[in-house]
Amino acid sequence: MNAAPAGAPEDTGRVSTPLRRASDFELIPVGDTRRAGRARVRDAVWSMDAAGLEKDKGFHFACRALEGDGVLVARVVSVGGAAARAGILMRSGPQPTPDTKAVWLQLAEDGELRALWRHGLGASRVESHDHPALTPWWLKLARHGNGIQGWGSANGRDWALIASIRFHELPGTMLVGLAACSGSADDTTTAAFDHVRLVSAPPRPPADSHPWLTVTGQRRGIRLAWRRSPGTTYHNVLRATVHGGPYVRIAHGVDGLAFEDSTALEGVPYHYVIDAVGHGRPNLRSNEATGRWLAGTGE
């Protein structure tokens, strides 16, 4: 098992179960797939033949029951085709109904990373992320109470928050697992996953870790929020227009745990980090988080 990722919520102290046996998942078709799917595992690599148009129109889901809180981690090795999508999914039930609740983190072959979720109101929402997530790419979904959060990582160590969804109510038992579709109800493609594991409780940020940053697009500007690290005197806010930097400091000496970037241009993706400054220790840098003005909300 890999060590807990640096700069991401910890799994330390949790019970982690590698999922590398054929009996660990049951493959089910969701919606209209027309073609039979297949899931198999060899040398801890899952291969999944899948069909369907994605969302609830049709896909294949290799799943198992999760009672209460828990975390699913997997690395997507390959998606399977130009129109295909593959990722990990938490879902309230096997078949689409108006009250289905679900969160699906999914990748496309061109590197598009999306979070798709349903609140149980008969409709779904999709949020795409600007930085490319070329395979192999790590994904993590965590359920805690009535909330589900998703992360993505290029290396399995440095994680970025992709989605955080709060539901009115989630059932005690959810289905969790690997989900894939071909982009067509009549054709199948094959996706591949490895490093698949289930953790018995959701990851929590350790008290002594680097600040954990989240970013939200606002009506005017971009809002940043983070967790305070012990021994921090103040924070500096840094911004880049390219994933990974170089970063430029846009705010110095921020005492609180939030900042609104009112200088951001509408529609432009920005990449942010926070430096937590304290006396007698090196600065602690946060994860990078990406955000932009919400489309059509600027004035």
Report the Cα 264 to chain-centroid distance in Å.
24
**Alpha-carbon gap, residue 156 to 136, rounded angstroms:** 10
Identify the pLDDT of residue 206: 47
Taking the complete model, does pTM exceed 0.85, yes or no? no
pLDDT 10s digits, 31-56: 878 888 899 999 999 999 988 887 66
- Please report where in the chains the tokens 């291969």 appear, as a residue: 47
Nearest residue to 189 via CA among 41, 24, 53: 53
Helix/strand/coil for 24: helix
**Both 38 and 181 in a single domain?**
yes
5 falls within a domain: no
Identify the pLDDT of residue 72: 96
In degrees, to the nearest 5, what angle opens at C-alpha 235 toward C-alphas 153 and 265?
A: 70
Q: Looking at residue 278, which CATH number applies to its domain?
A: 2.60.40.10
Radius of gyration for the chain, computed over Cα atoms and rounded to the nearest angstrom: 19
Find all residues with CB under 8 Å of 71, minimum gap 6, and list them: 11, 14, 140, 141, 142, 143, 198, 199, 201, 202, 203
Identify the pLDDT of residue 12: 42
Is the pLDDT higher at 154 or at 202? Answer: 154
Residue spans of beta strands (DSSP E) within 228-298: 234-240, 248-254, 258-261, 270-277, 284-285, 289-291
Domain boundary among 175, 199, 223: 199
Identify the pLDDT of residue 17: 86
- 209 pLDDT exceeds 80? no
Helix/strand/coil for 268: coil
Average pLDDT over all residues of the chain? 83
Domain boundary among 145, 172, 199: 199
204 falls within a domain: no
Beta carbons of 39 and 48 less than 8 angstroms apart: yes
**Both 256 and 286 in a single domain?**
yes
**Both 217 and 191 in a single domain?**
no
pLDDT 10s digits, 91-116: 998 877 778 899 999 998 888 888 88
| Lowest pLDDT segment from 67-71, 156-160, 250-254 | 156-160
250 falls within a domain: yes
* Single-letter residue type at 203: P
Question: What residue numbers bound the domain in which 76 lies?
Answer: 16-199
296 falls within a domain: no
**Both 160 and 272 in a single domain?**
no
Percent of the chain with pLDDT over 90: 37
For the chain, helix (H) and strand (E) counts, in that order, are: 0, 23
**Both 107 and 155 in a single domain?**
yes
**Both 184 and 219 in a single domain?**
no
Is the pLDDT higher at 90 or at 167? Answer: 90
Find all residues with CB under 8 Å of 190, minimum gap 6, and list them: 47, 48, 49, 50, 78, 80
Is the pLDDT higher at 100 or at 211? Answer: 100
159 falls within a domain: yes
**Both 140 and 219 in a single domain?**
no
**Both 183 and 244 in a single domain?**
no
Mean pLDDT of 119-142: 74
Q: Looking at residue 42, which CATH number applies to its domain?
A: 2.60.120.200
| Lowest pLDDT segment from 15-24, 181-190, 201-210 | 201-210
**Alpha-carbon gap, residue 108 to 83, rounded angstroms:** 7
- 201 pLDDT exceeds 80? no
Is the pLDDT higher at 299 or at 140? Answer: 140
Beta carbons of 95 and 79 less than 8 angstroms apart: no
Token pair for 156: 């399995």
**Both 162 and 230 in a single domain?**
no
**Alpha-carbon gap, residue 181 to 172, rounded angstroms:** 27
pLDDT 10s digits, 223-261: 898 887 878 899 999 999 988 889 999 999 999 999 999
38 falls within a domain: yes
Element (H, E) at 295: none
31 falls within a domain: yes
Domain boundary among 199, 223, 248: 199
Token pair for 93: 């039930």
Element (H, E) at 269: none
- 203 pLDDT exceeds 60? no
- 13 pLDDT exceeds 50? no
**Alpha-carbon gap, residue 131 to 138, rounded angstroms:** 14
**Both 182 and 267 in a single domain?**
no
Mean pLDDT of 118-125: 67
- 81 pLDDT exceeds 60? yes
Identify the pLDDT of residue 131: 58
206 falls within a domain: no
**Alpha-carbon gap, residue 8 to 156, rounded angstroms:** 10
Quote the number of domains for the chain.
2
**Both 282 and 167 in a single domain?**
no
**Both 158 and 246 in a single domain?**
no
**Alpha-carbon gap, residue 185 to 13, rounded angstroms:** 43
